[in-house]
Amino acid sequence: MSNHLIIFTRYPEPGKAKTRLIPALGDAGAADLHRQMAEHTVAQARKLQKQQTVLVEVQFTGGDLAQMQTWLGEDMQYRSQSAGDLGERLVQAFQAAFGQNATAVVVIGTDCPSLGEDILSAAFELLTTTDVVLGEATDGGYYLVGLQKLIPELFKNISWSTDIVFQQTLAIASQLKLTTALLPVLDDIDRPEDLKHLKM
């Protein structure tokens, strides 16, 4: 059994990272918060690796391989995120992982500071008996998606970056007659009004 955890993130360059938080925090402040949240997420992945065998891959935008390894360490795989919208990038990420003989793949971002190794562990456990695992974010999206096999339809015709992403995804899973397990609802930190949820 091969578990893959894929972390979507970007290099913390001021002016390009967490742009929706720039009005509240400024270019440097938004990038620094993004850096802290990404480092926290990677730390949770490393804790998970101490409990079970899981391959961790960071898929990134901005920066280059050397900058990413210098920042987050050389003990993980790195890959540039593919082109396209979030749905297309997710399909490519799952496709590549299952192409490496993964039996369960979980994809997360770095916007959810309360996502700990316990929830990551639960996601992989649920994938032993469930087609799809989702972690709903309070903004109507999701902070985690896990699959046992590639299901491209799950990421098509989704209104990305809106408050109906989670519901649309659940509806598609239902139409496809997939078994679905849900994780606890957590806060994403994307906009100035989300900063009140920040506990790191």
Other residues' Cβ atoms within 10 Å of the Cβ of residue 84: 11
| CA dihedral over 172, 175, 181, 186, signed as positive or negative | positive
Nearest-angstrom CA–CA distance, 119 and 45: 11
Query: C-alpha 47: how far from its chain's center?
Result: 16
Report phi then psi at 189, rounded to 5: -110, 95
Which residues, listed in sequence order, are joined to residue 137 by a DSSP beta bridge?
A: 186
3-192: CATH topology is Spore Coat Polysaccharide Biosynthesis Protein SpsA; Chain A (3.90.550)
Residue 200: its pLDDT value, please? Answer: 55
Which residue, among 115, 128, 111, 113, has the nearest Cα to 52 in the 3D structure?
Answer: 128
Residue 118: its pLDDT value, please? Answer: 97
18-68 pLDDT, tens digit each:
999 999 999 999 999 999 999 999 999 999 999 999 999 999 999 999 999
Report phi then psi at 25, rounded to 5: -115, -10
Note the helical H segments in 109-194. 117-126, 165-175
pLDDT per residue, tens digit, the chain (200 aa), is 699 999 999 999 999 999 999 999 999 999 999 999 999 999 999 999 999 999 999 999 999 999 999 999 999 999 999 999 999 999 999 999 999 999 999 999 999 999 999 999 999 999 999 999 999 999 999 999 999 999 999 999 999 999 999 999 999 999 999 999 999 999 999 889 888 888 65
Structural domain boundaries in the chain: 3-192
Sequence length of the chain is: 200
Residue 20: its pLDDT value, please? Answer: 93
Residue 191: its pLDDT value, please? Answer: 87
Which residues, listed in sequence order, are joined to residue 132 by a DSSP beta bridge?
A: 147, 180
Nearest-angstrom CA–CA distance, 5 and 11: 19
